[in-house]
Amino acid sequence: MLDETDREIVEILLRDSRTSLKELAQAVGLSSPSVSERLRRLEERGVIRGFTVEVDAKALGFAIQAIVRIKPLPGKLHVVQKLIEETPQFGECDKVTGDDCFVARLYVRSIEELDGLLDRIADKAETSTAIVKSQPIPRRAPPLQSS
Amino acid sequence: MLDETDREIVEILLRDSRTSLKELAQAVGLSSPSVSERLRRLEERGVIRGFTVEVDAKALGFAIQAIVRIKPLPGKLHVVQKLIEETPQFGECDKVTGDDCFVARLYVRSIEELDGLLDRIADKAETSTAIVKSQPIPRRAPPLQSS
DNA sequence: CCTTCGGCCCTAATAAAATTAGGTGTTTTC
DNA sequence: GAAAACACCTAATTTTATTAGGGCCGAAGG
Protein backbone atom coordinates (compact mmCIF):
# COMPACT_ATOMS: atom_id res chain seq x y z
CA MET A 1 0.00 0.00 0.00
CA LEU A 2 2.60 2.51 1.12
CA ASP A 3 6.26 2.09 0.39
CA GLU A 4 8.87 2.67 3.06
CA THR A 5 9.32 6.31 2.03
CA ASP A 6 5.63 7.12 2.21
CA ARG A 7 5.40 5.48 5.59
CA GLU A 8 8.27 7.54 6.92
CA ILE A 9 6.71 10.73 5.58
CA VAL A 10 3.37 9.97 7.18
CA GLU A 11 4.99 9.05 10.47
CA ILE A 12 6.86 12.33 10.59
CA LEU A 13 3.72 14.29 9.72
CA LEU A 14 1.74 12.49 12.41
CA ARG A 15 4.25 13.81 14.91
CA ASP A 16 4.39 17.29 13.39
CA SER A 17 2.53 18.21 10.26
CA ARG A 18 4.37 21.51 9.99
CA THR A 19 7.61 19.77 9.19
CA SER A 20 8.95 21.50 6.09
CA LEU A 21 9.43 19.74 2.78
CA LYS A 22 13.12 20.40 3.14
CA GLU A 23 13.28 18.50 6.41
CA LEU A 24 11.08 15.71 5.12
CA ALA A 25 13.23 15.48 2.01
CA GLN A 26 16.37 15.15 4.11
CA ALA A 27 14.77 12.53 6.32
CA VAL A 28 13.78 10.29 3.45
CA GLY A 29 16.66 11.08 1.11
CA LEU A 30 14.74 12.75 -1.68
CA SER A 31 14.34 16.28 -3.05
CA SER A 32 11.60 18.66 -1.93
CA PRO A 33 9.58 18.43 -5.14
CA SER A 34 9.60 14.65 -4.92
CA VAL A 35 8.31 14.72 -1.38
CA SER A 36 5.73 17.32 -2.37
CA GLU A 37 4.50 15.04 -5.13
CA ARG A 38 4.31 12.04 -2.79
CA LEU A 39 2.32 14.13 -0.36
CA ARG A 40 -0.06 15.19 -3.07
CA ARG A 41 -0.63 11.55 -4.00
CA LEU A 42 -1.10 10.46 -0.41
CA GLU A 43 -3.86 13.00 -0.13
CA GLU A 44 -5.30 12.09 -3.50
CA ARG A 45 -5.40 8.43 -2.52
CA GLY A 46 -7.12 9.41 0.70
CA VAL A 47 -4.41 8.03 2.95
CA ILE A 48 -3.92 11.46 4.43
CA ARG A 49 -7.41 12.75 4.97
CA GLY A 50 -6.36 16.18 6.13
CA PHE A 51 -4.12 18.42 8.15
CA THR A 52 -5.33 19.47 11.55
CA VAL A 53 -4.40 20.57 15.05
CA GLU A 54 -4.78 18.70 18.30
CA VAL A 55 -6.61 20.73 20.87
CA ASP A 56 -6.13 19.98 24.56
CA ALA A 57 -9.35 19.51 26.48
CA LYS A 58 -7.76 20.14 29.87
CA ALA A 59 -6.27 23.43 28.72
CA LEU A 60 -9.78 24.51 27.77
CA GLY A 61 -11.11 23.64 31.19
CA PHE A 62 -12.59 20.26 30.36
CA ALA A 63 -10.96 18.34 33.14
CA ILE A 64 -13.18 15.29 32.83
CA GLN A 65 -13.75 12.91 29.99
CA ALA A 66 -16.24 10.11 29.93
CA ILE A 67 -17.01 7.24 27.59
CA VAL A 68 -20.75 6.84 27.32
CA ARG A 69 -22.71 3.98 25.86
CA ILE A 70 -26.05 5.26 24.64
CA LYS A 71 -28.86 2.92 23.70
CA PRO A 72 -31.78 4.86 22.30
CA LEU A 73 -35.26 3.83 23.34
CA PRO A 74 -37.47 2.40 20.59
CA GLY A 75 -38.11 5.01 17.91
CA LYS A 76 -35.71 7.53 19.45
CA LEU A 77 -32.64 6.66 17.44
CA HIS A 78 -32.63 9.72 15.21
CA VAL A 79 -33.55 12.11 17.98
CA VAL A 80 -30.70 10.81 20.04
CA GLN A 81 -28.22 11.03 17.19
CA LYS A 82 -29.27 14.59 16.50
CA LEU A 83 -28.89 15.49 20.14
CA ILE A 84 -25.40 14.06 20.23
CA GLU A 85 -24.39 15.91 17.10
CA GLU A 86 -25.71 19.18 18.43
CA THR A 87 -24.18 18.89 21.86
CA PRO A 88 -20.66 20.26 21.53
CA GLN A 89 -19.41 18.39 24.58
CA PHE A 90 -19.61 15.18 22.59
CA GLY A 91 -16.38 14.28 20.89
CA GLU A 92 -16.12 11.35 18.53
CA CYS A 93 -19.17 9.09 18.39
CA ASP A 94 -19.44 5.60 16.92
CA LYS A 95 -22.55 3.64 16.14
CA VAL A 96 -21.84 0.05 17.03
CA THR A 97 -23.39 -3.39 16.72
CA GLY A 98 -25.69 -4.66 19.41
CA ASP A 99 -29.06 -2.98 19.91
CA ASP A 100 -28.22 -0.03 17.67
CA CYS A 101 -26.25 1.82 20.23
CA PHE A 102 -23.74 4.63 20.30
CA VAL A 103 -20.42 4.90 22.03
CA ALA A 104 -19.29 8.48 22.47
CA ARG A 105 -16.71 10.54 24.25
CA LEU A 106 -17.88 13.40 26.41
CA TYR A 107 -15.83 16.42 27.51
CA VAL A 108 -17.06 18.14 30.66
CA ARG A 109 -15.75 20.55 33.28
CA SER A 110 -17.39 18.91 36.24
CA ILE A 111 -19.38 15.93 37.38
CA GLU A 112 -22.36 18.26 37.61
CA GLU A 113 -22.05 19.13 33.96
CA LEU A 114 -21.81 15.43 33.10
CA ASP A 115 -24.86 14.71 35.15
CA GLY A 116 -26.77 17.51 33.50
CA LEU A 117 -25.97 16.25 30.03
CA LEU A 118 -26.92 12.69 30.86
CA ASP A 119 -30.21 13.95 32.29
CA ARG A 120 -31.05 15.49 28.97
CA ILE A 121 -30.76 12.09 27.28
CA ALA A 122 -32.37 10.12 30.09
CA ASP A 123 -35.85 10.16 28.57
CA LYS A 124 -34.59 9.16 25.13
CA ALA A 125 -32.05 6.46 25.82
CA GLU A 126 -30.54 4.10 28.28
CA THR A 127 -27.00 5.12 29.09
CA SER A 128 -24.03 3.74 30.92
CA THR A 129 -21.10 5.94 31.71
CA ALA A 130 -17.47 5.33 32.48
CA ILE A 131 -15.24 8.16 33.60
CA VAL A 132 -11.82 8.25 31.96
CA LYS A 133 -9.11 7.87 34.56
CA SER A 134 -6.10 8.00 32.26
CA GLN A 135 -5.24 7.70 28.62
CA PRO A 136 -2.55 5.08 28.07
CA ILE A 137 -2.86 5.89 24.36
CA PRO A 138 -4.42 9.33 23.89
CA ARG A 139 -4.54 8.99 20.13
CA ARG A 140 -2.97 6.74 17.58
CA ALA A 141 -3.28 6.25 13.87
CA PRO A 142 -4.02 2.87 12.32
CA PRO A 143 -0.95 0.81 11.43
CA LEU A 144 0.83 2.12 8.34
CA GLN A 145 2.26 -1.26 7.45
CA SER A 146 0.23 -3.98 5.82
CA SER A 147 2.23 -6.60 7.73
CA MET B 1 -10.19 31.36 28.11
CA LEU B 2 -10.03 32.07 24.41
CA ASP B 3 -11.27 35.28 22.91
CA GLU B 4 -13.38 35.28 19.79
CA THR B 5 -10.34 35.71 17.56
CA ASP B 6 -8.46 32.78 19.06
CA ARG B 7 -11.50 30.61 18.74
CA GLU B 8 -11.87 31.45 15.09
CA ILE B 9 -8.21 30.72 14.46
CA VAL B 10 -8.42 27.35 16.18
CA GLU B 11 -11.59 26.45 14.33
CA ILE B 12 -10.01 27.19 10.99
CA LEU B 13 -6.91 25.20 11.90
CA LEU B 14 -9.02 22.24 13.02
CA ARG B 15 -10.46 22.15 9.53
CA ASP B 16 -7.13 22.72 7.80
CA SER B 17 -3.94 23.33 9.70
CA ARG B 18 -2.09 24.30 6.55
CA THR B 19 -4.11 27.47 6.20
CA SER B 20 -1.57 30.24 5.69
CA LEU B 21 -1.09 33.09 8.11
CA LYS B 22 -2.22 35.42 5.38
CA GLU B 23 -5.56 33.65 5.06
CA LEU B 24 -5.99 33.38 8.80
CA ALA B 25 -5.16 37.06 9.13
CA GLN B 26 -7.81 37.96 6.57
CA ALA B 27 -10.37 35.75 8.25
CA VAL B 28 -9.94 37.35 11.65
CA GLY B 29 -9.11 40.87 10.53
CA LEU B 30 -5.53 41.06 11.77
CA SER B 31 -2.06 41.11 10.23
CA SER B 32 0.03 37.99 9.71
CA PRO B 33 2.50 38.71 12.50
CA SER B 34 -0.36 39.20 14.93
CA VAL B 35 -1.88 35.88 14.05
CA SER B 36 1.54 34.27 14.25
CA GLU B 37 1.96 35.61 17.76
CA ARG B 38 -1.47 34.40 18.81
CA LEU B 39 -0.64 30.98 17.45
CA ARG B 40 2.59 30.89 19.36
CA ARG B 41 0.74 31.69 22.55
CA LEU B 42 -1.99 29.14 21.92
CA GLU B 43 0.72 26.52 21.67
CA GLU B 44 2.56 27.91 24.68
CA ARG B 45 -0.61 27.77 26.76
CA GLY B 46 -1.13 24.21 25.62
CA VAL B 47 -4.45 24.88 23.93
CA ILE B 48 -3.00 23.68 20.66
CA ARG B 49 -1.05 20.58 21.55
CA GLY B 50 0.34 20.00 18.11
CA PHE B 51 -0.05 19.92 14.38
CA THR B 52 -0.80 16.58 12.82
CA VAL B 53 -2.39 14.72 9.93
CA GLU B 54 -5.47 12.56 9.90
CA VAL B 55 -4.82 9.18 8.41
CA ASP B 56 -7.67 7.18 6.90
CA ALA B 57 -7.92 3.63 8.19
CA LYS B 58 -10.02 2.40 5.27
CA ALA B 59 -7.54 3.73 2.74
CA LEU B 60 -4.89 1.66 4.49
CA GLY B 61 -6.97 -1.46 4.24
CA PHE B 62 -8.41 -1.45 7.74
CA ALA B 63 -12.03 -1.80 6.78
CA ILE B 64 -13.21 -2.73 10.26
CA GLN B 65 -13.09 -0.83 13.51
CA ALA B 66 -14.16 -2.16 16.86
CA ILE B 67 -14.59 -0.69 20.29
CA VAL B 68 -13.33 -3.15 22.85
CA ARG B 69 -13.83 -3.15 26.59
CA ILE B 70 -10.97 -4.96 28.23
CA LYS B 71 -11.08 -5.99 31.86
CA PRO B 72 -7.77 -7.48 32.91
CA LEU B 73 -7.82 -10.55 35.13
CA PRO B 74 -6.42 -10.08 38.64
CA GLY B 75 -2.75 -9.19 38.52
CA LYS B 76 -2.71 -8.88 34.73
CA LEU B 77 -3.32 -5.16 34.45
CA HIS B 78 0.19 -4.16 33.46
CA VAL B 79 0.64 -7.09 31.10
CA VAL B 80 -2.55 -6.16 29.36
CA GLN B 81 -1.65 -2.51 29.11
CA LYS B 82 1.73 -3.37 27.65
CA LEU B 83 0.12 -5.69 25.13
CA ILE B 84 -2.27 -2.96 24.03
CA GLU B 85 0.52 -0.45 23.65
CA GLU B 86 2.62 -2.82 21.62
CA THR B 87 -0.16 -3.96 19.33
CA PRO B 88 -0.28 -1.41 16.54
CA GLN B 89 -3.87 -2.23 15.64
CA PHE B 90 -4.96 -0.54 18.83
CA GLY B 91 -5.84 3.10 18.36
CA GLU B 92 -6.68 5.34 21.27
CA CYS B 93 -7.12 3.60 24.60
CA ASP B 94 -8.68 4.95 27.78
CA LYS B 95 -8.52 3.53 31.25
CA VAL B 96 -11.90 4.04 32.82
CA THR B 97 -13.63 3.68 36.14
CA GLY B 98 -15.26 0.41 37.06
CA ASP B 99 -13.09 -2.63 37.67
CA ASP B 100 -9.97 -1.03 36.26
CA CYS B 101 -10.85 -1.60 32.69
CA PHE B 102 -9.77 -0.27 29.32
CA VAL B 103 -11.81 0.94 26.42
CA ALA B 104 -9.88 0.87 23.18
CA ARG B 105 -10.38 1.22 19.48
CA LEU B 106 -9.13 -1.52 17.24
CA TYR B 107 -8.34 -1.25 13.52
CA VAL B 108 -8.45 -4.54 11.60
CA ARG B 109 -8.73 -5.73 8.03
CA SER B 110 -11.01 -8.64 8.70
CA ILE B 111 -13.08 -10.36 11.31
CA GLU B 112 -10.42 -13.06 11.37
CA GLU B 113 -7.79 -10.53 12.31
CA LEU B 114 -10.06 -9.17 15.03
CA ASP B 115 -10.64 -12.65 16.33
CA GLY B 116 -6.94 -13.40 16.33
CA LEU B 117 -6.15 -10.27 18.33
CA LEU B 118 -8.86 -10.95 20.88
CA ASP B 119 -7.56 -14.49 21.27
CA ARG B 120 -4.19 -13.16 22.28
CA ILE B 121 -5.79 -11.27 25.16
CA ALA B 122 -8.26 -13.98 26.09
CA ASP B 123 -6.06 -15.50 28.80
CA LYS B 124 -5.26 -12.13 30.34
CA ALA B 125 -8.56 -10.32 30.37
CA GLU B 126 -12.26 -10.47 29.92
CA THR B 127 -13.30 -8.60 26.80
CA SER B 128 -16.46 -7.44 25.16
CA THR B 129 -16.42 -6.20 21.63
CA ALA B 130 -18.65 -3.96 19.56
CA ILE B 131 -18.06 -3.56 15.85
CA VAL B 132 -18.32 -0.01 14.57
CA LYS B 133 -21.12 0.29 12.04
CA SER B 134 -20.80 3.97 11.28
CA GLN B 135 -19.24 7.09 12.68
CA PRO B 136 -21.80 9.84 13.14
CA ILE B 137 -18.95 11.96 14.50
CA PRO B 138 -15.62 10.59 13.34
CA ARG B 139 -13.62 13.06 15.37
CA ARG B 140 -14.35 16.28 17.16
CA ALA B 141 -12.46 18.62 19.41
CA PRO B 142 -13.75 19.68 22.82
CA PRO B 143 -15.88 22.83 22.83
CA LEU B 144 -13.84 25.99 22.38
CA GLN B 145 -16.29 28.17 24.23
CA SER B 146 -16.61 28.20 27.97
CA SER B 147 -20.35 28.78 27.64
C1' DC C 1 16.05 -6.34 -30.02
C1' DC C 2 14.97 -1.83 -30.16
C1' DT C 3 11.81 1.91 -29.27
C1' DT C 4 8.44 4.18 -26.67
C1' DC C 5 5.92 5.37 -22.76
C1' DG C 6 5.18 6.01 -17.80
C1' DG C 7 6.84 6.54 -13.41
C1' DC C 8 9.91 8.74 -10.46
C1' DC C 9 13.46 11.41 -9.63
C1' DC C 10 16.58 15.60 -10.13
C1' DT C 11 18.23 20.88 -10.30
C1' DA C 12 17.34 25.60 -10.91
C1' DA C 13 14.21 29.42 -11.07
C1' DT C 14 10.15 31.62 -9.39
C1' DA C 15 6.44 32.50 -6.33
C1' DA C 16 4.52 32.46 -1.87
C1' DA C 17 4.77 32.27 2.93
C1' DA C 18 6.69 33.03 7.53
C1' DT C 19 9.57 35.62 10.44
C1' DT C 20 11.93 39.53 12.08
C1' DA C 21 12.71 44.35 13.05
C1' DG C 22 11.10 48.54 14.36
C1' DG C 23 7.39 51.52 15.55
C1' DT C 24 2.49 53.38 17.24
C1' DG C 25 -1.43 53.85 20.17
C1' DT C 26 -3.95 52.20 24.33
C1' DT C 27 -4.50 50.36 28.74
C1' DT C 28 -2.73 48.97 33.24
C1' DT C 29 0.33 49.74 37.13
C1' DC C 30 2.98 52.06 40.40
C1' DG D 1 1.04 61.20 35.52
C1' DA D 2 4.95 58.54 33.86
C1' DA D 3 6.41 54.00 32.76
C1' DA D 4 5.76 49.58 31.49
C1' DA D 5 3.05 46.08 29.19
C1' DC D 6 0.23 44.91 25.61
C1' DA D 7 -1.57 44.21 21.22
C1' DC D 8 -1.33 45.65 16.99
C1' DC D 9 0.70 47.59 12.56
C1' DT D 10 3.98 47.96 8.03
C1' DA D 11 8.04 46.92 5.60
C1' DA D 12 12.14 44.16 4.94
C1' DT D 13 14.25 39.77 5.11
C1' DT D 14 14.54 34.97 5.22
C1' DT D 15 12.67 30.62 4.57
C1' DT D 16 9.59 27.54 2.24
C1' DA D 17 6.79 25.76 -1.48
C1' DT D 18 5.87 25.44 -6.26
C1' DT D 19 6.80 25.33 -11.00
C1' DA D 20 9.39 24.40 -15.18
C1' DG D 21 12.26 21.58 -17.68
C1' DG D 22 15.03 17.37 -18.10
C1' DG D 23 17.30 12.75 -17.17
C1' DC D 24 17.10 7.86 -16.10
C1' DC D 25 15.37 3.43 -15.70
C1' DG D 26 12.03 -0.61 -16.53
C1' DA D 27 8.08 -2.49 -18.48
C1' DA D 28 5.11 -3.02 -22.79
C1' DG D 29 4.72 -3.49 -27.51
C1' DG D 30 6.23 -3.42 -32.27
CB-nearest to B18 from A51, A92, A97 is A51
Q: List chain C nucleotides near protein: any atom < 7 Å from a Cβ.
A: 8-12, 16-22
Architecture of the structural domain at B58-131: 2-Layer Sandwich (3.30)
Confidence band, pLDDT 50/70/90 cuts, at residue A147: low
Q: Does this chain's domain A4-44 share its CATH topology with A58-131?
A: no
Domain positions in chain B: 4-44, 58-131
ipTM: 0.94
Residue B129 CB lies within 7 Å of the nucleic strand C: no
Q: CA–CA separation, A24 vs A9, rounded Å?
A: 7
Q: Dihedral sign, CA of A40, A45, A46, A47?
A: negative
Residue A32 CB lies within 7 Å of the nucleic strand C: yes
Instruction: Please list the pLDDT of chain B residue by residue as tens digits (147 residues).
Output: 899 999 999 999 999 999 999 999 999 999 999 999 999 999 999 999 999 999 999 999 999 999 999 999 999 999 999 999 999 999 999 999 987 799 999 999 999 999 999 999 999 999 999 999 999 999 999 999 865
CATH tag, B4-44: 1.10.10.10
pLDDT in tens, A95-146: 999 877 999 999 999 999 999 999 999 999 999 999 999 999 999 999 998 6
DSSP codes joined into one string, B110-144: SHHHHHHHHHHHHTTEEEEEEEEEEEEES--PPPS
A93: closest chain B residue by CA: B137
DSSP codes joined into one string, A61-105: T--EEEEEEEEEPTT-HHHHHHHHHH-TTEEEEEEETTTTEEEEE
Q: Packing angle between helix A32-44 and helix A21-28, nearest 10 degrees?
A: 100
